[in-house]
Structures are given as C-alpha cells and as structure tokens.
Structure 1
C-alpha cells in the first residue's frame, strides 16, 4: 500500500504566467493536452520575464456547483511562477493563487500513476475548489522516483 506524505503549511500568493484551457478531465487525459502544453511552455520559458525557477505549476479550478465529474469542463492553468509581471508573451495569461493555508501531499512515482494519489486526496479531504500541482522537473515525470507536490486548500 502506498503511503503519502502530508504536511499543512502557509503559502504566499503565487503569481503565474502560462497557458489556460477549459476542458474536462476525461478529454485532457484522452488528448494528452498537458504534455503538449508543458512542452510549449518549456520551449517559451526564456520569453517569460521575472520567471522564478524552472518548475511548472498546474492549477485545476473546479466548478463551484459541487457536482463535478470527470466529464464536466473546468479551468486548467499550466504556468511558471514569476516574481512580478512583466510583458506577457502572446497567447499566455496571468493567474494568481491567493495566499493561504494549504495541505501539501507529495506524489512519488510516475505521473501516470497519480490517480492513486488523487484517490487518497478525494477520500481524505473531499471536494475542494482548486488543486495545485508543482512539477519540479517535467523530464522526470514518468520516472519511478519522480515527485509531484500537490497543494489543496486546508479546511
């Protein structure tokens, strides 16, 4: 049985620059759009002014009706953190994750196995308005020792 490291912490706001799509989870998984968006974002990383590191964030903002299913479209933001906003590259958006108290869950292993970590999160924490994933190195996402940090709002 897989164990999950869980830590509660305060986070400052996160300023992001990147891409956004509105799509259902099932369509995202079927189309593999995140891989394309990640690669496009990585190719354009030097165009993003005031970029803070090379890790990439995935923000998933769920509908507020509370009736979410994998077939219901919702907003996804895939982006780099910036220290401040400069000129935004064409086709990209800005997004701010507000400061607050978050629970950090660490997924260790291949990204393709992250469903088991989300099963744990859903069972342990229930519905939430947002999930934040942080990919420190997109080139190790499918390795057995890869790590994805997941942040969810603390209740």
Structure 2
C-alpha cells in the first residue's frame, strides 16, 4: 500500500502559458493527447521569454455540475509558469491560477501509476473543481524515482 506525503501550503498566484483542450479522461488516456501537448510545449519552451521554471503544469478544470464521469469532457491546460503575459505565441493560451491555500500531495513513482494516487485523493478529499499537477522533469515520468506534485485547492 502506498503512503503519501501531504502538506498544506500557501500558493502564490501562477501565470501560465501553454495549450488548452477540452476532452474526457477516456479520450485523453486513449489518445495520449496531454502527453503529446506536454512534449510539444517542452520543444517550444524557448519561445516563452518570460518563463521562470523548467517544469510544466497540468491544470484539470472539472465541470461544476458535479456529474463527472470518465466520458465527461473537461478542460486540460498544459503550461509553463511565466512572470508576465507578454509575447505569447498566437497558438497558445493563458491561464491564471489564483493564490490561496492548497493541499499538496506527492505522487512518487511512474506517471502510469498516478491513478492510484487519484483514487486516494478521491476517497480522501472527494469531488473538487480543479486539480493541478506539476511535472518538474517530463523526461523522467516513467521512472520509479519520478515525482509529481499534485495541488488541490481548499
């Protein structure tokens, strides 16, 4: 059985620039579109002049009606953190993650096993409007020593 490191943190506002899609979890898993967008964004990192971290964020914004299923489309934002929204490539979007208190849960192990961590989060914290993942190194996500930070607001 996995154990999880859980912390309460005060998160500053994050300005993010990248790609946004609206897809169901089943379609994301089948098409691997989030992974494709993550790799495309990493290849274009030098186009973001105000980028201030190497890591990439995934913001998952769920429908507010509470009727989520694996087939329900929701918004996925794959993005780098920036200092300012200036000189944004035309095919990219911006997103601002508000400051506030977040629960931080660390997934350790391959990304392919992150479903176990989300099962724990769902059983412990229940439904929520948004999940944030931070991938410090996208090229190590399939390794046993991989680490993904997950932030849950509230």
Q: Could you state the TM-score of these two structures normalised by the residue count of structure 1?
A: 0.98
Q: Supply the RMSD in Å over aligned alpha carbons.
A: 0.5
SS where residue 70 of structure 1 aligns?
coil
SS where residue 7 of structure 2 aligns?
strand
Q: What are the ranges of 5 or more consecutive residues in structure 2 without an aligned counterpart?
A: none
Q: Tell me the distance in 2 between the aligned counterparts of 1:30 and 1:63.
A: 21
Asked if the contact 1:103/1:153 (under 8 Å) is kept, the reply is yes
Equivalent residue for 1:49? 49
Q: How many matched pairs?
A: 154
Equivalent residue for 2:93? 93
Deviations 1:60-113, CA, capped at 9 Å, x for gaps: 000000111110000000000001111111210000000010000000000000
Equivalent residue for 2:110? 110
Query: Structure 2 matches for 1:125-144, cutoff 5 A?
Result: 125-144=125-144
SS where residue 65 of structure 2 aligns?
coil
Q: Tell me the distance in 1 between the aligned counterparts of 2:38 and 2:96.
A: 19
After superposing on structure 2, the runs of 4+ consecutive aligned residues of structure 1 that deviate more than 4 Å are: none
SS where residue 104 of structure 2 aligns?
strand
Q: Could you state the TM-score of these two structures normalised by the residue count of structure 2?
A: 0.99
